[in-house]
A and B are shown apart, each in its own frame.
Chain A
Amino acid sequence: MYFRAIRNGMVKNKGISLVSVLFIAAAAMLVSLATVLSVNLGGAIDTLMTRAKTPHFMQMHSGRLDLERLTSFAREETLVDEFQVVEFLNVDGALILFENGSLAGSVQDNGFSVQNSAFDFLLGLDGTPVQVSDGGVYVPITYLQEGLAKAGDRIRVSDTWFTVAGFIRDSQMNSLLSSSKRFLLSERDYASIRSLGTVEYLIEFRLHDLADLGGFEAAYTSAGLEANGPTLTYPLFRMLNGLSDGLMIAVILLVSALVLGVAFLCIRFTLLAKIEDDYREIGVMKAIGLRVNDIKKIYLVHYAAIAAAGSILGFALSFAVRDALLENIRLYMGESDTSTLTPFLAAAGVLLVFLVIVAYVNGTLGRFRKISPAQAVRFGISGEPSAGGKAFRLSNGSFPGTQVFLGMKDVLARKKLYITMLAVLVLAAFISIVPRNLYHTISSEDFMTYMGTGKSDLRIDLQQTDDIAGKASEIAAMMESDGSIARFVVLTTKTFKVKHPDGPGYRLKVELGDHSVFPLAFAEGRKPDTENEIALSVMNAQELGKKVGDSLSLIISGQERELSVCGIYSDVTNGGKTAKAVFSDPSADIMWSVISAELVDASLTDNKVMEYSDRFSYAKVSDIGEFIAQTYGSTIGSIGKASYAAIAVALSLTVLITLLFMRMLVRRDRYPIAVMKAFGFTNADVRKQYVARSVFILTVGMLLGMVLANTLGENLAAALIASFGAASFTFVVNPLESYLILPLLMVAAVLAATAFGTRDAGKISISENIKE
């Protein structure tokens, strides 16, 4: 009989049971998707890199190349399996014309190559190395996705026309995060346009065993071979390929954890309420000799059914959605060889969700053991003392209003029940604030200062040209007399050997000049101010094992010089391995120079870019805003969209849970409501009490949520941003939005849900409910 009573009671709570099923389904779906995506991504990257025979080590080099010396190094070095030097013809984007426009504004280094014969193959969409016939061109896959080109289109490079024969997957340069993009031409066509650009060499090695990579890098460096350009390795290529989809998987996992948390809260909430309702029945069952495990089973079966329904639904849904999410991976990397396994792994993930829920319910039901049969049968109410708010008394007179008092008193007296709603509101505040703060942070103009670049409007790169110093001073002279330039600085990068006590020398790229004009954000320490100071990028600091305050010896003009490390900063430019100092060095051996400028009127940047491009054809002039928009624009845009979605989710969650919670409370509180009405409280009084409860919990919840957002949330966001290369940052908070608009939205949501959820309080009949 009691069994039936309990079971019937659970069927009555259809609303919340359905919500629990839906949240479990969402969590199961996300876990399943994350599994499918990770397996596919991992598999697809492996497949792509295996088929393309991606180099294990690649040194980019511009300038003179001693092929003979390199070849003999490769022959004598026992770790090397294969070796090749391939050309990358760097062509100004303005010379490459698609039917829909040129690549003039592209921040990528666009260039041409021919298919390699030994390794580093450029693959077609069928996963095999492409062979190009004369007159045809294969275009990087990214331009297909951006809608710039499609098969059959005509492309003009300077005066020569080519037809798009297809698209290529480039295991090195697929990712938007890698800064170069390779177009593929036939050998003859390549030779015909070779004079249009500058040749950069890719010095590529494949080793017998990838595990020897560290040893090989050291050998290459100590041999003093060509090294005018970034060095890239197999693990780095792998990471670049996985990063953007990997981030998506990380976000999905994070969201699924949140959703699962909400499902837990729903379950906990119904379960606790149910246990309190059934207190007497449970006591009676214990009194007549049923074992706790038998009683638990009744509840467990119900929740196992809910969990199973949710898991199966979620698993099924994940199949419907997965193709859309896999599209990007398939396009960029092709099919994975491991795809037959994925349904089983996804099912295992979903099973895990199911088991976690059942274990959680089982744990919560453990409190049955604490129920004393005698007390339960005699009083029918849980004997747990209402711990909170004893000092909070009506008779003290120190309260804001009778209804407010009663509402708050109830919250304090039944903390365990309200903690569920509190948790949801904390979560809602958290997920609405953190993504907005993240968005404001990365879209802020200062954000680039966390990434290794000072904040300026205009940037001029002088690279791969002769007499860099002369050309830089020519530009500087023009800027000096240009009234529309507020300030500018010339920073020159040179390489210096680091004196290392053990092992081979390490070449450090040091950017020299005045770093106070456009300052960076430092993760630790500060910028270099004196001649004997140097600041290192995070990667260099790690590689050299240096902390702020350590000293570092550089060979400058043949002389050893002791510098002290004054600061460490994050950097995503030039492979992340940079350093900054202010000492002067007379040598003319300049790798490149960068001239940064700030305009009096930033809105004129476009015109200035054109003016300086025309005037100095040898320099690459870019608009920093444009540079950011192209490099991070899509990321910023999606985080912006995601942050709005997060607000919508948070508000829906708030409304849904508040509504369900209030309805359940009103149903459970029929008796005290009837009592209060009998003694002359109006319906409006009673509803005011519920509003007071909601607002009280909401206030606490939002405060906690804000504190968490600025502590845990900032750290989480920092971890996410670290994957872009910034080691440390602080949230840029829009106070109006985070501390006024979002809270007001939540207050509105909670008030509306409370008003709606307590509608039935007025319908409670005194005579039917006052006899307990």
Chain B
Amino acid sequence: MKKILAGRQMVKSFGEGNEKRRVLDGVSVEISQGEFVSVMGPSGSGKSTLLYALSGMDTIDSGEVSFNGTGLSGLGEKQLADLRRTDMGFVFQQPTLLKNLNILDNIILPSVRDNRKKTRQLSEKARALMERTGIGELENRSISQASGGQLQRAGICRALMNDPKVIFGDEPTGALNSTSANEIMALLSDIHRTGVTILLVTHDVKVAARAERVLFLLDGKIAGEYNPSRHTGSIADLDSREKQLRDWLAGMKF
């Protein structure tokens, strides 16, 4: 399979002097096109930092990151922004919607930037996505008039607007109850089945178990990699995968 994302010997530190801490300590990863990868690890292990580094939102101190064969270190701020807008989608723990805009405007915002003249078509596309994610009735609501789960769906709609090659998720279900979380994950699995690459950071085993591959990060290094057998996607199958992953995690010494 073609490699869509690759990081080699990534190093990233935070803090100054004695407080300086290596959050990524020589991490290398490769992610193939169409793959669904989860990243797990305890708090402070560098999960989110890895995601920000691979998506070009943060720079790294040393090492290399490439997206679809292009090295990110050679790109300027504008090109990185263009890349995020056209080829990547993001879902965060909080919905990260702008409170000045209603839900529909929030969803079309990144795509409208480059296609002002196609506002009507984009709005239609957004409405279709909203229908698909079950929030069709919310387009004119302000964000204070929707629940956390609904807002997270709106965030996913926004991430899908530009038909991204990769969706990055940073604890996308972290702020939701288990019912909403299951629904969101089912949605992301559906999106994955259409061929979109997904990289997800989570500490929830149930969420990670949906991935094709799980990376375990500890103290800025990849401490292990879990490759479950192929699965059918049924509920029973999910439960067994979750159990297997738990067993594997229990074997990780941290």
- B-contacting residues of A (Cβ < 8 Å)? 379, 381, 383, 385-386, 390, 393-397, 401-402, 406, 409-410, 413-414, 672, 675-685, 762, 765-767, 770-772
Query: Is B153 among interface residues, defined by CB-CB distance under 8 A?
Result: no
From B24-32, B92-100, B184-192, give the one contacting chain A.
B92-100
In the assembled complex, the Cα of A396 lies from the Cα of B88 at a distance in Å of 26
Query: Is B58 among interface residues, defined by CB-CB distance under 8 A?
Result: yes
- Chain A residue numbers with a CB within 8 Å of B144 are 379, 381, 383
- The answer to whether A397 and B120 touch across the interface, beta carbons within 8 angstroms, is yes
B52, B82, B142: which contacts A766 (Cβ < 8 A)?
Answer: B52
- Chain B residue numbers with a CB within 8 Å of A395 are 104-105, 108, 119, 123, 126
- Chain A residue numbers with a CB within 8 Å of B97 are 675
In the assembled complex, the Cα of A169 lies from the Cα of B57 at a distance in Å of 79
Q: Which residue of A lies closest to B118 (CB)?
A: A397
- Chain A residue numbers with a CB within 8 Å of B84 are 678-680
**Could you list some 18 contacts between A and B, CB below 8 A?**
A394-B112, A397-B120, A409-B100, A413-B99, A414-B100, A672-B98, A676-B98, A678-B92, A680-B83, A682-B77, A682-B78, A683-B77, A684-B78, A762-B77, A766-B58, A767-B49, A770-B96, A772-B94
- Chain B residue numbers with a CB within 8 Å of A766 are 52, 57-58
A397, A682, A767: which contacts B52 (Cβ < 8 A)?
Answer: A767
- Distance between A99 CB and nearest chain B CB, rounded to angstroms: 74
A402, A413, A676: which contacts B116 (Cβ < 8 A)?
Answer: A402
Known: A394-B112, A770-B92. 4 other contacts (CB 8 A): A675-B96, A677-B81, A679-B158, A683-B77
In the assembled complex, the Cα of A302 lies from the Cα of B92 at a distance in Å of 38
- Chain A residue numbers with a CB within 8 Å of B110 are 679-681
- Chain B residue numbers with a CB within 8 Å of A390 are 102
- Distance between A534 CB and nearest chain B CB, rounded to angstroms: 67
- The answer to whether A680 and B142 touch across the interface, beta carbons within 8 angstroms, is no
- Chain A residue numbers with a CB within 8 Å of B158 are 679
- Chain B residue numbers with a CB within 8 Å of A393 are 102, 104-105
**Given A395-B104, A766-B57, A771-B93, residue A381 in contact with residue B99 (CB < 8 A):** yes
B85, B105, B116: which contacts A680 (Cβ < 8 A)?
Answer: B85
B-side interface size class: 35 or more
**Given A394-B119, A409-B101, A766-B58, residue A678 in contact with residue B96 (CB < 8 A):** yes
Among B57, B86, B142, which residue has the most Cβ atoms of chain A within 10 A? Answer: B57
In the assembled complex, the Cα of A97 lies from the Cα of B226 at a distance in Å of 110
In the assembled complex, the Cα of A396 lies from the Cα of B120 at a distance in Å of 8
In the assembled complex, the Cα of A762 lies from the Cα of B82 at a distance in Å of 15
Q: Which residue of A lies closest to B117 (CB)?
A: A397
In the assembled complex, the Cα of A401 lies from the Cα of B120 at a distance in Å of 15
Q: Which residue of A lies closest to B79 (CB)?
A: A682
Q: Which residue of B lies closest to A386 (CB)?
A: B100
In the assembled complex, the Cα of A396 lies from the Cα of B105 at a distance in Å of 9
- Distance between B64 CB and nearest chain A CB, rounded to angstroms: 19
- Chain B residue numbers with a CB within 8 Å of A383 are 144
Q: Which residue of A lies closest to B120 (CB)?
A: A397
**Given A402-B113, A678-B84, residue A767 in contact with residue B101 (CB < 8 A):** no
- The answer to whether B94 and A397 touch across the interface, beta carbons within 8 angstroms, is no
- The answer to whether B113 and A685 touch across the interface, beta carbons within 8 angstroms, is yes
Query: Is B109 among interface residues, defined by CB-CB distance under 8 A?
Result: yes
Query: Is B66 among interface residues, defined by CB-CB distance under 8 A?
Result: no
Query: Is B36 among interface residues, defined by CB-CB distance under 8 A?
Result: no
- Chain B residue numbers with a CB within 8 Å of A679 are 84-85, 90, 109-110, 158
- The answer to whether B81 and A413 touch across the interface, beta carbons within 8 angstroms, is no
Nearest first, the 6 closest Cβ-Cβ pairs linking A and B are A680-B85, A397-B119, A394-B105, A680-B84, A682-B81, A679-B110
- Distance between A489 CB and nearest chain B CB, rounded to angstroms: 68
- The answer to whether B94 and A680 touch across the interface, beta carbons within 8 angstroms, is no
- The answer to whether B99 and A767 touch across the interface, beta carbons within 8 angstroms, is no
- Distance between B120 CB and nearest chain A CB, rounded to angstroms: 6
- The answer to whether A394 and B109 touch across the interface, beta carbons within 8 angstroms, is yes
- Distance between A248 CB and nearest chain B CB, rounded to angstroms: 48
- The answer to whether A767 and B86 touch across the interface, beta carbons within 8 angstroms, is no
- Chain B residue numbers with a CB within 8 Å of A394 are 101, 104-105, 108-109, 112, 119
In the assembled complex, the Cα of A393 lies from the Cα of B49 at a distance in Å of 35
- Chain B residue numbers with a CB within 8 Å of A397 are 116, 119-120, 123
In the assembled complex, the Cα of A771 lies from the Cα of B116 at a distance in Å of 29
Q: Which residue of B lies closest to A674 (CB)?
A: B96
- The answer to whether A680 and B77 touch across the interface, beta carbons within 8 angstroms, is no
- Distance between B203 CB and nearest chain A CB, rounded to angstroms: 15
Q: Which residue of A lies closest to B122 (CB)?
A: A395
- Distance between A377 CB and nearest chain B CB, rounded to angstroms: 15
- Distance between B175 CB and nearest chain A CB, rounded to angstroms: 10
In the assembled complex, the Cα of A315 lies from the Cα of B96 at a distance in Å of 50
- The answer to whether A767 and B105 touch across the interface, beta carbons within 8 angstroms, is no
- Chain A residue numbers with a CB within 8 Å of B119 are 394-397
- Distance between A484 CB and nearest chain B CB, rounded to angstroms: 68
- Chain B residue numbers with a CB within 8 Å of A771 are 92-94
- Chain B residue numbers with a CB within 8 Å of A396 are 119
Q: Which residue of A lies closest to B124 (CB)?
A: A395
- Distance between A400 CB and nearest chain B CB, rounded to angstroms: 9
In the assembled complex, the Cα of A716 lies from the Cα of B123 at a distance in Å of 53
- Chain A residue numbers with a CB within 8 Å of B123 are 395, 397
In the assembled complex, the Cα of A395 lies from the Cα of B121 at a distance in Å of 10
In the assembled complex, the Cα of A770 lies from the Cα of B49 at a distance in Å of 13
Query: Is B48 among interface residues, defined by CB-CB distance under 8 A?
Result: yes
- Chain A residue numbers with a CB within 8 Å of B83 are 680
In the assembled complex, the Cα of A410 lies from the Cα of B109 at a distance in Å of 14
- Chain A residue numbers with a CB within 8 Å of B96 are 675, 678, 770, 772
